[in-house]
Structure 1
Amino acid sequence: MKFRTLLALCAGGSLLAGCAASSSETNSASTAATPPSNSKDATAFPSTYEAYPSTPTAITGVTIFDGEGRRIDNGTVFMADGKISAVGGPETAIPAGTTVIDGIGKYVTPGIIDVHSHLGDYPTPSVDAHSDGNEATSPVTPEVWAEHSVWPQDPGFSRAMANGGITALQILPGSANLFGGRSATLKNVPARTVQAMKFPGAPYGMKMACGENPKRVYGNRNRMPSTRMGSLAVNRQTWIDAQEYRSKRNDAKPPKRDLGKETLAAVLDGDILVHNHCYRADEMAQIIDMSKEFGYKVTAFHHAIESYKIADILAKEGICSAVWADWWGFKMEAYDAIPENAALLQNAGACVIIHSDDENQIQRLNQEAAKALADGRAMGIEISDAQAIQWITYNPAKAMGIETMTGSLRPGKMADLVLWNGNPLSVYSRPDKVWIDGALLFDSSDAKRRPVSDFELGQPGEGDVK
């Protein structure tokens, strides 16, 4: 069966009362937002996302990390109509007819968000036929869109939810190119098409890359860039061309439509967010200078192994660092990594994100955040558990431009949340239940709500294995 994950969730009314909400059941945030006025191409592939049906639910007696640094003990979370309705203490009112879940001894967080994923465009099984993340035919490919490579059946999506509590993620092109193309922000829901997964109202991102990857890929082909100075030269000339296209866009005789320059012009307009793969501190500073030269903003540096060296600059510029807890040494520019990177950034008041860039690590972002927290505490930097949860919830949402809709437990936001069977910063804790838009999509105690795929190993209790 080719759609086992989807069918497992959609097998009759007994599970989720059908595969998609009717128009009256779909929450108000689940329709595509009006695209920015300058992004004429933004409606070319609109989101068709509809929330799964939900029922009013309250979790009581639970420890809450709200995603914005606050902890509530013996708390209550109430959700209805796909939204967070109330977050508070035991006195929080719960309307009659609400499904009540006893959360004593358990923890609630917002849904975990991965700002850097390649699920779908480098899906499992990892074979050459599935390698769709790098359009490595030119160092400048802003015309490509990651969503046109995403395979919704990738079993990594269901594993990310079941093991890691992932409710939203940004799918990026790879890092072979200086300009890698547009990203896709997805809700982690089973769907037949990528458009039905696209996060409604999320802005596009654009992947850029500096450092060893582009100069290695294209230098080996005896073409620019083969050096870091070559990379900056190609970058700058590309932005000059984009500025010219943008200035002519509203002329009486506008230039011939160019997909790549449309993306770059939308970046210059502020409608598309820049996510820049970059390891070394000196290169990040060069990229910041270039962004000021051409009038765009870097939203986040990804991997950012040396961010700790310029933490004050990143804090001043309002640029997030999406980092690993302790990956290092796998290439030359990764040798000056330290495990205290995230903590030092936090201590400097900079935006910290823990990301995966890996189909396995996305299942353990809570543990990666815990490692980074422990390394900071070991050097005397006091960071609370609630602050560390922010690294994998609100901060990635902010970098993806969706923080007003998700990423923290505030009334009115999408009811994307995880109930953990223990402190999520413990290696022993796992998701107990996961809701997206208030719909229960994963339940560790209900085999019908433990999504599986054609590529599962078939552990007892999963899928058709008895």
Structure 2
Amino acid sequence: MFRPSRIAGALALTLGLAGCGGEDKPTNEPQDFSRFDAFPSTYSLQQEQDVLIRSATVLTATGEQLQETDLLLKDGKIAKIGKGLKAGDKALVIDAQGKWVTPGVIDVHSHLGNYPAPSIESSQDGNEITSPNTGQVWAEHSVWTQDPQFALALSGGVTTLQILPGSANLFGGRGVTLKNVPGRRVQDMKFPDAPYGLKMACGENPKRVYGSKGTAPGTRMGNVAGYRQAWIQAEAYKKKWDAYNKGESSDKPDRDLKLETLAGVLAGEILVHNHCYRGEEMAIMMDVAKEFDFKVSTFHHAVEAYKVADLLAENQVCSAMWADWWGFKHEAFDMTEANIAIVDQAGACALIHSDSSVGIQHLNQEVAKAMLAGQRAGFDIPPREAVKWFTLNAAKSLGIEDKTGSIEEGKMADVVIWSGSPFSVYTLAEQVFIDGVLMYDRKDEKRQPHSDFDLGILDAEGERV
């Protein structure tokens, strides 16, 4: 197994410090629910040599397509962008003449590790269907880091992905954003300082799952009542903690893991990722968000997003959509293949997502289909703009756009070198860098990670049989 230097180093000190400090004391500040994170990131991937990529066509995801351009990756960051750049003697120099470079692919909706391969019942750990509100569960606690599908996603250029709980519940629990690197435990993969996500679901799934049991919710109006009641409880919980920390109350509240997650949303620390297909339901969810003074970060699937594209733009809500996956149930039926383009042209944040262990391997091609559909609908959408749909807009959805998602100096050196235009069906990701480290090279088997589960039988010399 390819293990980059220091990626899973011993970081017991970090974990130990997280538990220090004794009793909580009033701070005269509102409650910071992020301090309850008992599972901090231990991600540590360090670039050991500079990388100079020469003479590429670069899609920056900031609206530019640069020809015959060089990139210098240094100390895990994009250090310079320009022509005729120089690097030290020990640098890895790559001739990218005729090739294209983009930021790393970001998938905001994945279940890798929670629904790993091989797909057997004993490892299906993405849906906690014991209650309509399971805000207390965290997707990361089901992630099997040995899932071979992580490496397959990497071969498609995916450098960052969000793992979400399933959509059986009104509140499915916390999602986690990962760097797509090998790790002994999920904390070795956790994107540093990325906010958590709260998975919510509207529509058919929760009412079907619980209505079939004869419990609430059994209707869409029951769904909305369930959200509102939960947010009322979360508001009361947050007020108790804020009063305690401001010294307005001497009664320290008992911790409630379910309400802690919802209160984190109300405090602006946790982002809402909402499974929602129909236009009018997205409008209702935005109204619920206004009632309780929080923001929906992203609607997922959003087959009818084109119907409310103006509302999405007005409320600054992203939509994560498929290019042409629709019609598999009633609420997914009223689709247009120009969906992503219409949302984008309305000035809203549009992006692709997979919700699939296969689709995640070719999100660039999914964007190509959506771009073409938009062009057929009469929109002027060039590659320099469409690239945002699998890079920068996805980073915005996850609250990490200040760190990754575009090729700009100072950002994480998460970069893909493609054999040609990433919008061609014939193009493959040739080399994938994460924080400046060459994590995948299509022509070098030593730079093609395999999980321990995937390695197979070794002979006496340690070669694969």
**Fold-level similarity (TM above 0.5):** yes
User: Of 80, 96, 109, which residue of structure 1 is paired with 2:102?
Assistant: 109
Q: Does 1:75 align with 2:69?
A: yes
**TM-aligned CA deviation for residue 100 of structure 1:** 1.4
Query: Structure 2 CA distance, aligned partners of 1:143 and 1:327?
Result: 31
Equivalent position SS for 1:114: strand
Q: Is the alpha carbon distance of 1:37 and 1:165 closer, same or farther for their aligned partners in structure 2, counting shifts above 3 Å?
A: farther
Give the gaps of 5 or more residues in structure 2: 12-17, 19-29, 457-461
User: Of 254, 261, 271, which residue of structure 2 is paired with 1:263?
Assistant: 261
Contact 2:109 2:353 in 1 (8 A): yes
**TM-aligned CA deviation for residue 457 of structure 1:** 10
Contact 2:63 2:384 in 1 (8 A): yes
Q: Is the alpha carbon distance of 1:294 and 1:158 closer, same or farther for their aligned partners in structure 2, counting shifts above 3 Å?
A: same
Query: Structure 1 CA distance, aligned partners of 2:71 and 2:130?
Result: 50
Query: Structure 1 CA distance, aligned partners of 2:321 and 2:78?
Result: 29
Q: Is the alpha carbon distance of 1:366 and 1:40 closer, same or farther for their aligned partners in structure 2, counting shifts above 3 Å?
A: closer
Paired AA for residue 355 in structure 2: D
Contact 2:107 2:353 in 1 (8 A): yes
Equivalent position SS for 2:262: helix
Give the gaps of 5 or more residues in structure 1: 1-7, 11-15, 24-31
Alignment of 1:282-361 (within 5 A): 282-361=280-359
Contact 2:34 2:269 in 1 (8 A): no
User: Deviation string for 1:297-336 (max 9, x for gaps)?
Assistant: 0000000000000111101111000000001110100000
Alignment of 1:379-390 (within 5 A): 379-390=377-388
Query: Structure 2 CA distance, aligned partners of 1:330 and 1:92?
Result: 51
Partner of 2:93: 100
Alignment of 1:148-297 (within 5 A): 148-162=141-155, 164-249=156-241, 250=244, 251-297=249-295
Alignment of 1:354-433 (within 5 A): 354-433=352-431
Equivalent position SS for 1:9: coil
RMSD: 1.9
Equivalent position SS for 1:375: helix
Contact 1:20 1:53 in 2 (8 A): no
Query: Structure 2 CA distance, aligned partners of 1:399 and 1:73?
Result: 29
Q: Does 1:55 align with 2:49?
A: yes
Query: Structure 1 CA distance, aligned partners of 2:255 and 2:34?
Result: 11
Paired AA for residue 322 in structure 2: W
User: Deviation string for 1:166-201 (max 9, x for gaps)?
Assistant: 000000000000000000100000010000000011
Contact 2:2 2:450 in 1 (8 A): no
User: Deviation string for 1:435-454 (max 9, x for gaps)?
Assistant: 11111111111111112346
Q: Is the alpha carbon distance of 1:22 and 1:82 closer, same or farther for their aligned partners in structure 2, counting shifts above 3 Å?
A: farther
User: Deviation string for 1:319-369 (max 9, x for gaps)?
Assistant: 000000001110100000110000111111111110000001000100000
Partner of 1:135: 128
Equivalent position SS for 1:301: strand
Query: Structure 1 CA distance, aligned partners of 2:350 and 2:296?
Result: 14
**TM-aligned CA deviation for residue 130 of structure 1:** 1.0
Query: Structure 1 CA distance, aligned partners of 2:160 and 2:313?
Result: 25
**TM-aligned CA deviation for residue 380 of structure 1:** 1.1
Contact 2:31 2:238 in 1 (8 A): no
Q: Percent of pairs identical after alignment?
A: 54
User: Deviation string for 1:101-132 (max 9, x for gaps)?
Assistant: 10001011111000000001111111111111
Q: TM-score, with normalisation over the residues of structure 2?
A: 0.91
Q: TM-score, with normalisation over the residues of structure 1?
A: 0.90
Query: Structure 2 CA distance, aligned partners of 1:262 and 1:414?
Result: 31
